Structures are given as C-alpha cells and as structure tokens.
A and B are shown apart, each in its own frame.
Chain A
Amino acid sequence: MAKYILKRIGYMIITLWVVATITFVLINAIPGDPISASAGKVLDKKVAAEIMKKYKLDQPEYVRYGTYISDLVHGDMGMSIHYPGQKVNDIIAKEFPVSLRLALQAVTIGIVFGIVLGIIAAFKRNTWVDYTVIFIALIGVCVPGFVLAILLQYGLGAKFGLKIAGWSAKSLFDIYRYSLLPSIALAMAGLASNARFMRTSVLEVINQDYVLTAKSKGVGKVSLVWKHIIRNAILPVVTMIGPRIAYVITGSLVVESIFSVPGLGRELVSAISNRDYTVVMSLTVFFAFLYIVSLLIVDIVYVLVDPRIKLTQRKG
C-alpha cells in the first residue's frame, strides 16, 4: 500500500508540472496582458512599458517560466498583479476554506441524500415514492446548478426573507446560513446521479443470495440495509466521488459568482478576465493538485470499503 501511494505521489508531481507548463503557455498566448487588462483606459505606451518592467513582465518567456517554476517548487505561488501586493498563498489561505466548506457540504449532501433516496426508491420500487425520486433525479441532472441556485434565491430568499445572499463568517450560524443555498445548488447534480446509481445498485444486491440468506435468518431491516446492502451497493457511488469532486470544484466557479461567495472559483474566473498570470497559473495548479489528491483518497477508500478489490496486481 505504501509503495502504491508513493508511486501515485510521483505521478502527481509530474502531472502538476505538465499542468503548470501548459497553463503558462496558454495564458501567455491569449491576447492581452495583465497591465492593459486592468487599466480602465488604454495606457500610454511608455507608461505601460514602465509598469511591465515593475512586474518583470518584460523579461523573455522562458525566464519568467523558470522563475515561476522555481518559486512554485519552494512553495511560493507568486504575487497577484491585479491586486498589487496580494500574495497568492494568502489568497488561497483565506479563500480555500470557503470553497472547501461548500465542496464538502455539497458532496456530503449529495451522498447522504442520494444514498437514502436511492435505497428508499429501490425498496419501494414502482410505487409513487420511486417515481418521485426518479423525478427529483431528473431535475437534478437536467437543470443546471446555477439555474437552481437562482430559483432558490428567489423562492426562499425573497419570499421568506431568509438572509441567504452574501457571506459572513461572524458566527457558526452565519456560516451555515450563507453556505446552505450554494451547497444545495452544487449538490443537486450529484444527489440526482447518486440516487439513480444507488437505486440500480441496490436492486441488484437485493436479489443476491446472501441477502436472501440474511433475511431468512431473521436479520432486522435496518441491520440488513446497513451491514449487507449498503456496503455492496455503494461501489458505483464511491467510483463517482472522484469526478463528483471535480464537478463541484468547477461548478463552484458559477455558483460562487451567483451567491457572491468569496471562494477560489470566483477568484479564478476574475483572474482570467484580468489576465492575472500568476493567480491563474497558481490557482490552476492548485485545483489540479486538489483533484489528484481526491482521486488518490477515493482509491484508498475504495479498497477499505471492498476488500475484494486489489489496487495492484499480485504475481502468482
């Protein structure tokens, strides 16, 4: 296991380096540069040249690339150009917890409610309960998260006067109050597909011999579900957690903008339109890092959940 993890970490470092390089090439290829992008008006050529010098943007690309990579290796993610003096490490330190909270809440809501709904639907197959769950799943998959987000805002915020827009970290209550709707918006797609997968999976498992055996032995309903059915049926859901996290990370770009949540997704979007090279590159590398780490964690969890699965081939 340890050797496996080390190998994966090695691959991760190589992947991150490739991501950083490709992002560097791409962002430098887009027309425009951070100086003219930030300026409300087009700057005098000479003034623009001075500002470029100030931010060392007048150096040739390979020099800038080299500086960036060596800084990155030392853990220094650089400084924002659009917000002079703002260190990217500080941006991440301040805003990542916000995005992380939303992501974890969204994934958790998606998993918990998805599994519960899936199980109920499977047990009450072909009844109105089942159809309702399928309907919810349909909504969750077809309606984009941000549309749901806006509908929720209007529906709950305006009508019931719930304070839901904006962000405040003053108290635990405040934090949950403001993160509730964005998390739900992000969770819906996951909840929907988890419910569908779970339903199918449970239906398969219910018909297995060992379940019949357990039932005939008199095992209680709850115990049956918990000990026997879930652990076997949950595999498809666990498989999907990896891509689910990626979806939530990228979906957060839109949801955060709509709910004015000060997270990394919103930061990345504005950095791109500001052509803030350092922020774009560092945040992209960071997102790649998050994604790869979560895949690794998911793979390990996989093995723990189902001992039948082996991560590596055994010889002989």
Chain B
Amino acid sequence: MKSKKIVSAVIVALVLSVALVGCSSKSGDSASTTKSTNTKLDADQTANILGYDYTSLDPAVDSDMESFTTLTNVDEGLMREVSKDGKTISVLAGADKMTTNADHTVYTFHIRASKWSDGKAVRAQDYVYGWQRLANPKVSQDYLGFLNEMGVKGATDTGVAKPEDLGVKAVDDNTFQVTLKAPSAYFESTLNFKGLVPQREDIVKKLGDQYGQDFKGMVYNGPFIVSDHVKSAKVVYTKNDKYWDAANVKLKTVNAMIIDEPATYNKMFDAQELDMIIGTTDYLAPLQKKATAGDISYFKGYDPSVYYYIFNNKTKALSNAKVRQALSLAYDRQVQINTVFKKHYVAEGLIPNKIMLGKVEYRTAVPEPLKTLKDDPKKLLAEGLKELGLSSDPSKITLKLLMAKATSLTTAQAQFIQAQYKKNLGINVSITYSVDSPSYFKDRTNGQFDICAGGWGADYNDVISFFNLFTSTNGNNNGKYNNPAYDALIAKGKTELDATKRLEIFKQAEELLIVKDAAVSPYYYRQVDSFTQNYLKGMYVPLFGGYFDLKTAYISGK
C-alpha cells in the first residue's frame, strides 16, 4: 500500500533526525562582553564555579588536590602563596614576623592577632597542636612523614611517638617556635603546606570522629568558611567576617559545583551558569579561541609536576647508561605533545618552571640539561649493548612497557613510544595495560616493567622536593636508581645555606640524573588551564594549593 511506503519513509527520517541531534552541537552565542576597565564592584558578589569535593576538612588527613583547594580557602597557616613579579613566592600570613637564630636551626614566628570564625583568638598553641596532629601516627595519613622531610627536630618518617617529642613550642600565646635537626636551606618554602595550618584542640575533642566531616561544627581561620556541603554535589563558601584581612575579601558567596562530566560543565560555562572552569581535552582549543577573541579570560599555568619514563635499572638491557641515554633521546617530545597529549610543555630536565631555589626560579638559572646531549641515539645504543656484552642487533631486544589503565590517551601514548623506538632504534616494545590505578601502582612498585610512565608533583616550592625522589632509599624510586654520588649531592643540597653554592649542587645533580645516568627520561611539565568569565576578576590559580584561591577575586561588570 502506498501509505505503508510513506510511513516507512517517515520512520527512516525520524531515525536520521535522532542521529543528527547529536551532530548539531554549536554552542549558543557566547556573551560577548566588551572588555571592561571598570573595577567597580557589583552589588551581587556571588560566584558559581566548577568545584571539587573534599575528602575531609581535617588538615592532618588530606592528601589530594581537591581537599587542598578547600583548605586553601578556609584555613590559613604561617605563610600564604602569592604571585609577585611573575615569581611564585610565599608571604607571611598567619604569622606577621619571622626570625631565625644565627645557625638557622631555630625559627621564631610572631603569630598575628586574628580570630577563628567562632570569635576565639588564633594562638601559637593552635599551631603547636596542628603540627603535632600531622605527626601523630594515630591521626595523620599520607603526610605523616612531612615534618621529618621539613627537618623538624624529633620527627621521623613515621611521625613522633609522643606529641611532646616534636620540636615545636608555644613560647606564649603569640609566639610559635620551631627547632630543626640541622640548618635547612628550604624550610621556609614548606610553610604554606596545607597540613601545617593551626587546629583547635577543643573542636577536635568536641567533634570526635566527625572532625573533618561536620562542616557546621568546624572552625576556620581563612578568608572563607564552608557554609554548606552536599557530598559529590557542591561546596558553598561564605566570606569569613572574622578573617584578619576580611576588608580585602570581596566575594560574599561562592557556589563550587561538583561536576565530573566535561561536556556538562562546558555547557554550563557557555550558558554563564559557571563563572570558572578548567580546560580539558577537546574543549581546550575552543576555549582558547574564545579567550583570544576577548570573550573570556584565560589562565595558562604551570602545575608543579614533571612526567617522565622510568627505566628499570634492574633490567639487563637497561643497566647500561648509554642504552638509557639512547632511549631518552630516541623519541620526539614535541611530536608526542602535539599528537598524543595536545597540551603541556616539553621537558628536557627534571625541574618544572616556577619552582624556586631560594629567591631564584631554578629553570631560568639552569638550562635544561638534556638539550646538551647531542649524540646519535643509534650509536649510543650500539655502544651500550657492546659494553653489556649483548648482541648489537637491536631487534633482538624487547622491552616491556607498563601503562596505566587503557584509555584513548594511554593507548595513544604507548603506541607512539612503541613506533618511535622501532623507527629510531630498531628495538621492540611490548605494551601491557593495567586494570586500574591501584593495580598499576602495585605493579610499578614491584618492578614489573622495563619502562613505565611516572610523574611527580611537588608538595612545596623548592627543588629538593623533586630531587629527593631519586635517592636510593626513597620508596617512590620505582626504577631503583642507585648512585651514591647522587645521594651525596642531595644530602649536601639540603643543608647548604649559600644560594649560589646550592644552585651549583643541584645543577650537577640534575646533570647526573638526566644526562650522565639517564635514570629517567622526562617528557613534559604539566600545563594547567583555567578559564573565567570576564566579569570574574582577581582570581588566583595557585601553584601549590589546589585549583583556585578566592581571596582576591571579585565580580565586576556582570
């Protein structure tokens, strides 16, 4: 029947139209705001931003960037991270004066006169209690050994046996004193770590096992307080009127919406339902384009982390430095970034940009060492194999590459390396994907690889936080790199107070690690991109401390 034919045609049309709904994805008109030079504050200082859920508000147990983000905004320690003249430095915040004795083993802080959100004064005793908690094995978690890394007297890599053992003391209500095991060249740079904020003993006792979860019962000494929290949905920050610098905090309410799907939060940002998001994957390029056009503001930043390929020094073929050097040179880092990751900065050294050594940004003072290695990788490989007594035929070598969970990104990366090594060196690479992250970490710790990818993010703004990683006793030294000369340099670098000499020490250490021994092959420094609507001004994206710092932000011209 004719009508049957028409009906079939209609059905086909309906099917096709359903498919097309997915294709018409042009986002709606972006609000084209004229660049406003108006710094007059809007009446409504409420911001809605892409947010992150915290695991706990207890500074002694937090270890993830999401929780640190919250702590940065609601708590404050002795120092605070700011950006000045393009450098990332720490300035005094909870303390208003810092002095040290002649041999730099005792630091004395004058605690600023300020209040907690419940009106009680912030005292030196609160700092003592907070630091003791971080070193308490019954309470603390991932950063139990941090005070030991800082060099505080009495601390071990598993904290302290008794709180009183820790070398911290409240001389009086406003004087906080720290005693170190030895003079430290980097102690000051550790002071804005989130676990070191003051904590109130009476609140900890009152809330018991709900300390860290009961946001209404917690007290805060930062620019904001947590006024509402719906797990996995949102965190609401409200201005803390009792904050010592409250006069300079402009935002009244910030709704941090927790949204996992990039598709979702990008749509919301387009519709101005969100005032700030991060740029990820395929959404990065369109956002960058809009920023160039002046429609939105772009924060292209650095994450204090470096990613590298780890060579298992216990594998026969990899136990020769020349072989490792060859592997480190034999792939094109820029091409890898262009085709696999589509962002980040090429790394040919261990230390990323923005990391300081004293008052100097390390990377501006020390050129990346791998740039100086100009040898032909094929020749290096041949020489190395000969020294090992192995056949000089590269195709006889198969190296096992261990990757994390198989995703479009990890498969692209693995196949890229496999192809590059085949092409440039002639060696074979077999790829193994892990089931998920915990399995991957376990296999990596147990050395179940010849090559694997790793990364390290620093906890504080000093080069030592990277160099520590490759000492022979470090638990995270997955490739089991062991060079006493390197260990000796690092030990010296911890205590050398003369900045020039210290710079030279680490320059040598980096040269040794990356070039002479080629223990690992760095390939990128992480790039972090944030975007805000033009009317959200003054936002600070910290280097250490999470995804956003709201203290100086404000709404103007919405």
Binding site for B on A (CB under 8 A): 30-33, 36-47, 50-51, 53-54, 79, 82-86, 91, 94-95, 128, 131, 135, 139, 150-151, 153-155, 157-159, 161, 163, 165-169, 257-260, 262, 266-267, 270, 273, 275
Contact = CB atoms under 8 A, between A and B. Distances in A.
Contact of A79 (B142, B209, B270, B273): B209
Given A53-B137, A84-B56, A84-B212, A161 B22 contact: no
Contacts of B271: 158, 161, 163
A54 to B, nearest CB: 6
Interface in B218-266: 230-234, 257-261, 263-265
Interface string B8-19: 001100110010
A295 B257 CA distance: 37
Interface of B: 3, 7, 10-11, 14-15, 18, 21-22, 25, 27-28, 55-56, 58, 61, 63-65, 137-139, 141-142, 144-145, 157-159, 209-213, 230-234, 257-261, 263-265, 267-268, 270-271, 273, 435-439, 441-442, 444-445, 456-457, 475-476, 478
A87 B478 CA distance: 35
18 contacts: A30-B439, A31-B435, A32-B441, A40-B63, A41-B456, A46-B157, A46-B158, A50-B144, A86-B213, A135-B11, A151-B22, A158-B27, A165-B268, A168-B233, A168-B234, A258-B261, A258-B264, A259-B264
A128 B4 CA distance: 9
B475 A257 contact: no
- Residue from B25, B157, B435, B438 having most chain A Cβ neighbours under 10 A: B438
B145 A165 contact: no
A139 B18 contact: yes
B475 A260 contact: no
Contacts of B232: 95, 260, 262, 266-267, 270
Given A36-B438, A83-B55, A165 B137 contact: no
A264 to B, nearest CB: 10
- Residue from A39, A41, A94 having most chain B Cβ neighbours under 10 A: A41
Contacts of A157: 267
A123 to B, nearest CB: 18
Contacts of A153: 263-264, 267
A129 to B, nearest CB: 10
A267 B145 CA distance: 31
A106 to B, nearest CB: 20
Nearest to B443: A31
B535 to A, nearest CB: 19
Given A166-B259, A166-B268, A259-B264, A42 B457 contact: no
Given A82-B55, A151-B21, A155-B21, A47 B233 contact: no
A29 to B, nearest CB: 12
B157 A131 contact: no
A157 to B, nearest CB: 6
Given A42-B445, A159-B28, A161-B271, A262 B233 contact: yes
A266 B139 CA distance: 28
A44 B145 contact: yes
B28 A158 contact: yes
B142 A43 contact: yes
B437 A44 contact: no
Contacts of B158: 46-47, 50
B273 A260 contact: no
A149 to B, nearest CB: 10
B444 A47 contact: no
* 6 closest residue pairs by CB, A with B: A32-B438, A262-B233, A85-B213, A262-B232, A165-B264, A50-B137
